[in-house]
Amino acid sequence: MNEAPAVGPSARYSRYVFTLLFLLYMFDYIDRLVIVSLFPYIKHDWGLSDAQLGLLVSAVYWSILVFTLPISILIDRWSRKHCIGCMALIWSLATIACAFTRNFGQLFTARVVIGVGEAGYAPGGTAMISALYPREKRARMLGIWNASIPLGGAIGVALGGFVAQHYGWQHAFGLVALPGMIVALLFFGVRDYATVALVTTETPGVSSPGRAMARGDIVREFTHKPALILNNLAMAGCVFVTTSLLTWLPTYFHRIEGLDMTKAGLKGSAVLLLAIVGAPLGGYLTDRWYKRNKRARLLFPALSSLVTGLLLFVTFGLLRGVPQYIALLACGVAATGFVSAAVAVTQDLVHPGLRAVSLSLNIIIQHVFGSSVGPPLIGALSDRMGLSAAMLFIPAFALAAAFLFWAGSFFYTRDLAKVARVDVKL
C-alpha cells in the first residue's frame, strides 16, 4: 500500500458529492457537443467547410490545452470546490453566448471560452473522487463518473438536432446551458478536502514524516515513470477515436443514409449512449482483475482498445446498413472501456498532492495528439475524399493505443512502488 485512505465523509455524503460531480460532467459534455448536430444548419447558413466545422469542436480542446495546467495547480494548491463551481458557471455562460453569435469568428471565440471554463473540470473532479474513494474502488467509481461523458454527448447531440430542426439552431445553446448553472451553484456548498502538503518520504511507499518536495522531485513524479508516460500517450490515441466519432457520426448518418438531422442525431446519440456501459464496465472488470494482477490497470485498456480498432475497421470498411449499425453499437461499448483504468493510473502513480496536475498533463497530451487533431483532420480528409473514406483512418489510432497500454503495463508495479504514502483528509 502506498496511499492512506481518505478520512471523514460518510457514504451518504460521498454519494451526494459524487452525484453533483456526475451531473456537472454530463452538462460539460452536453454544452461541448451540442454543436455537432447543428453542423448542417450552420453550414447552410454561413457556408462553412467541414474543416471549419471541425474547428468549432477543436476550439474547446485547444483552449483546454492552454489553461488546464495553471487551473489544475490552483485546484491542487487552493480549492477544489471553488474552482469547479466557477468553471461550470463560465462554460455555461459561454454556451449561452453561442446563441447570439452571427459569424464563424464569433462562434469560434465563444467556443474557446467554453474551453476555458471546462479546462480544469476533469482534473478537479478526478482529484475529488480519488479522495472520496480508496484505490481498490477508484477505477470503478471513475468509470461510473466517466459514463457521464457519453450520456452528456448523447443528450447534446439528440436534443440539439431536435431543437435546431423545430426552433432554430441558436436556441439549442441556451436550452442546454441553464441546468449546468444551477448545479454549479449547488457545488459551492460541498465540503472540500484539505489541501495535501507536498512532502515526500525517504522511503517510497512508507508513511513517515517527510521533507518538502523540491521542484526536481515534482518533475520526476511525471518524467521518471514509464507506465504513466505510456498511459498518457495511449489515452491520446483513444481520445482521437472517441472525439472523432462524437463529432462526425451524426453527419455521417445524414450524408451516407440520407437521414434528416433529427433522426441522424438520435441514431448517433444511441451509439454514444451505449458507451455508458463501457466506462463503468471497464472500471468494474479492471478492479476485479486488479486484485489478482496489478498490471490489469493497463492490460484491460490495451484489450479494449484492440477490440475497438478491429471493430471500427470492419464497421467502416466492410459493412453498411443494419449490420454496420449493430457493429457501431458494439463500438460504443468498447471505445470507452479504457477510460476508468487509464484515468486511475494518472492518480495511482503520483503524489496525492499532485493528482489534478497529473490529470491536467494527461489532458494536455490527449488534446495535443488526440482531441484537437481528430475532428479537423477527419473533416479535412472528408473535404478531400468523402466522409465515408475519412472514417477509415480512425481505427489506426485505437490500435496504436492498444500497443502503448500493453507496453506500459510492464512498468506499472515498479512505478507504483515509488509513490509516497500521504494521508488525505476530508
Residue 294, domain CATH: 1.20.1250.20
Element (DSSP H or E) covering residue 212: strand 211-212
**Crossing angle of the two packed helices 121-132 and 11-33, in degrees rounded to 10:** 160
Task: Look at residue 296 and tell me if it is in a domain.
Answer: yes
Dihedral angle, C-alpha 119, 266, 253, 323, nearest 10 °: 110
- Cα-to-chain-centroid distance, residue 176: 19
Would the pLDDT of 281 be above 60?
Answer: yes
Q: State how many domains the chain has.
A: 1
The reply to whether 380 falls in a domain is: yes
Cell numbers describing residue 3: 496511499
Between the ranges 58-72, 169-183, 228-242, 409-423, where is the mean pLDDT highest? 228-242
| Whether the Cβ atoms of residue 136 and residue 231 lie closer than 8 Å to each other | no
**173 in any annotated domain:** yes
Residue 3 forms part of a structural domain: no
At 40, is the pLDDT very low, low, confident or very high (cuts 50, 70, 90)?
A: confident
**Mean pLDDT of the residues in the chain:** 86
Q: Residues 239-243: what's their mean pLDDT?
A: 90
> How many CB atoms are closer than 10 A to CB 167?
11
Quick one: pLDDT at residue 53?
87
Residue 169 lies in a domain: yes
Say if 5 falls within a structural domain: no
Q: Is the pLDDT of residue 169 over 50?
A: yes
Question: What confidence category does residue 133 fall into, taking pLDDT thresholds of 50, 70 and 90?
Answer: confident
Query: Is 85 within a domain?
Result: yes
pLDDT tens digits for 18-38? 999 999 999 998 888 888 888
Using a 10 angstrom Cβ sphere, with 0-12 exposed, 13-18 middle and 19 or more buried, the burial of residue 13 is: middle
The closest alpha carbon to 176, from 297, 384, 36, 42, belongs to 36
Place of cell 478492479: 287
Global confidence as pTM: 0.75
**Residue 422 included in any domain:** no
Higher-scoring residue by pLDDT: 425, 111: 111
What range does the domain containing 364 cover?
Answer: 11-416
